[in-house]
Chains A and B, each alone.
Chain A
Amino acid sequence: MDSKPNSFRTQPDERGHFGDYGGRYVAETLMPLVLELERAYRAAQADPAFKAQFDDLLEHYVGRPSPLYFAERLTEALGGAQVWFKRDELNHTGAHKINNCIGQILLAIRMGKTRIIAETGAGQHGVATATVCARFGLPCVIYMGAEDIRRQQPNVFRMKLLGAEIVPVTSGRGTLKDAMNEGLRDWVANVHDTFYIIGTAAGPHPYPEMVRDFQSVIGKEARQQMQDRVGRLPDLLVACIGGGSNALGLFHPFLDDPEVKMLGVEAAGHGLDGDEHAASLLGGFPGVLHGNKTYLLQDEDGQITEGHSISAGLDYPGIGPEHAWLKESGRVEYTAVIDDEALEAFQLLCRTEGIIPALEPAHAIAAVQKRAKEMDRDAIILANLCGRGDKDIFTVAEKLGVEI
């Protein structure tokens, strides 16, 4: 990109492209469906009743707006910029994922679909999907990698309690990308009645745009809350990135505020020098997977390699296409944090603020830890606390060598 666009908030174009990225790279069987979904989404966007229903459910069912919280003791401990959190971990089901699921299930119902499928990694999106399916009385099938099922037992049980059918996926290494493949296979075979609720801002157009829009409630609220509380916008936004939905949800409403800098935090696993990480932007190359062109972890022949992260919600080998574009346009800066740093930040937040974060936002907190020290004391960092850590206590205990 040689010249700066007038606005960073007008993507994608009518073909679903964010610059070079995004698009609709799907099998012909799905193509008419994807086009129909786009038409339905445009109609819903233009319908005040859709927005009213979405807002009502977010307020009374999810518990929005989520608080904006000044983390006083963490700020003191870091000795630099003020650290504020957008508390999306307080949402019903414990993460930001439900914002998107509410939007998509309302759309599914509008389209007359009677069966819902989804993929899940950490299980948060699976739980959120199972939750909205229970709420609206629709049958729900969740594809989940066998390895993730092992790592995320509490969420597996939650989904079952909510009435979802869990299908273990053993192909590949049994993680999120394999679950997404299986979701797509189900969808092509059941196009007539099935709606696929994708859990992050990736997949074929219009998913990246639609998921971003539903998640943008995070940034819209935060913008207003910041204005109300401190009378100005934050200096730096920080969010972790798996597929990129919580980050886009926070960032997007601020993209045209040039004074607000943004930092997306990928999972560096055991380190970016080896293969054991999940940093698609920093350690991957552009390619095509799961319906969109974006940065991917892949080898020189274009075979997809498996990501690694201590956090099951971040080990996806791709990333939403809008992030690929935001990276290349220079609007958002991206960094990565290793497992051990995330683990340390996890514990720091527990002890300084009495908040047990999910391992995903623990990556954002680790990045905040580094940045805050380099910034003035009157500077403001706003980080997305996009999930709570109940689901992760077993993983953390294991890492810390504690038996529970």
Chain B
Amino acid sequence: MTDRLSTAFSAPRPALVCFVTAGDGDTAANLDALVAGGADVIELGMPFTDPMADGPAIQAANIRSLGAGTTTADVFAIAAAFRARHPVVPLVLMGYANPMVRRGPDWFADQCAAAGVDGVICVDIPPEEDDALGPQLRAKGVAPIRLATPTTDAARLPRVLEGSEGFLYYVSVAGITGQQQAAQGSIEEAVARLKSATDLPVAVGFGVRTPEQAEAIAKVADGVVVGSALVELVGEHCGDAPQHLRALTAALAEAVHTAR
């Protein structure tokens, strides 16, 4: 199943990874707009009441989604329907541990596999607690995608890489989503460091908002992740969100795909 991820990242050009929150607006239409705009990988946020690593934009999206009554079953229904419409576009779930382990890690891994989910990014399960979900995901062929951050030093990096699959997500700033962007120089240095330690593709996110930023990062990284800027469009435009998502995604995709 992770084939879809490796295919997306093995293209000769860098990949654009786009995030929206499940259950925030018409998610199916939003996801289709991202694909139509040129997104290579979809990151679908699982809403949580306590999104500790997220800034105001994604917090608000979580609240809108839960306010609209989104359940875990809805998230998997959205994922499965996406998979039926888009057989080759990789889909990754991103969220927090508690909704993922609530019915047990085996249940969650089964649901992911059944819905055609390629990978899972769980913000608050570090390698030290991998037992809580990692083995179950790997057993079902779902990639546990880990985060590396500016605080992940050389001594710690092997620990993070062990058991990581799919791609490595480099969080470019020590902070929450949607805030300031890291200096380009520090991103280049970090990506070089990560790439010398792993064969996994390295995607860079947190604070990327514009095609210009995305292009600069795509010159060095295998992928660029954009979240808050897209989620803000969903919040702002409600029913009209898909056309705005598509336009921004297209501009980002153009910048990322032609960066090198």
Contacts and interface: CB of A to CB of B under 8 A. Distances in A.
A binds B: yes
Interface of A: 15, 23-33, 171-172, 177-178, 181, 184-185, 188-189, 191-192, 287-291, 293, 296, 298, 300-305
Contacts of A191: 151, 174
A24 B126 contact: yes
Contacts of B152: 28, 31-32
Given A25-B129, A28-B148, A188-B175, A296 B124 contact: no
Interface of B: 48-53, 55, 59, 63, 66, 71-72, 96-102, 123-126, 128-129, 132, 146-153, 156, 160, 171, 173-176, 179
A31 B128 contact: yes
Most buried by B among A23, A28, A171, A184: A28
Contacts of A302: 48, 72, 98-102
Given A301-B72, A303-B99, A172 B49 contact: yes
A27 B175 contact: no
A28 B147 contact: yes
Given A15-B128, A303-B48, A304-B50, A29 B100 contact: no
A188 B174 contact: yes
Given A27-B52, A27-B53, A298 B149 contact: no
A27 B126 contact: yes
24 contacts: A24-B129, A25-B132, A26-B124, A27-B53, A28-B152, A29-B174, A30-B151, A32-B153, A33-B151, A172-B49, A188-B176, A189-B175, A189-B176, A287-B101, A288-B97, A291-B124, A302-B48, A302-B99, A302-B100, A302-B101, A303-B49, A303-B98, A304-B49, A305-B49
Contacts of B150: 29
Contacts, number: 116
The prevalent SS among residues of A at the interface is mixed
Contacts of A300: 102
A50 to B, nearest CB: 26
Contacts of A289: 50, 98
Contact of A303 (B66, B129, B153): B66
B49 A32 contact: no
Given A171-B59, A298-B102, A302-B98, A185 B176 contact: yes
B147 to A, nearest CB: 4
Contact of A184 (B52, B129, B147, B151): B52
Nearest to B74: A301
Contacts of A293: 132
Contact of B128 (A24, A178, A305): A24
Contacts of B156: 31-32
B6 to A, nearest CB: 23
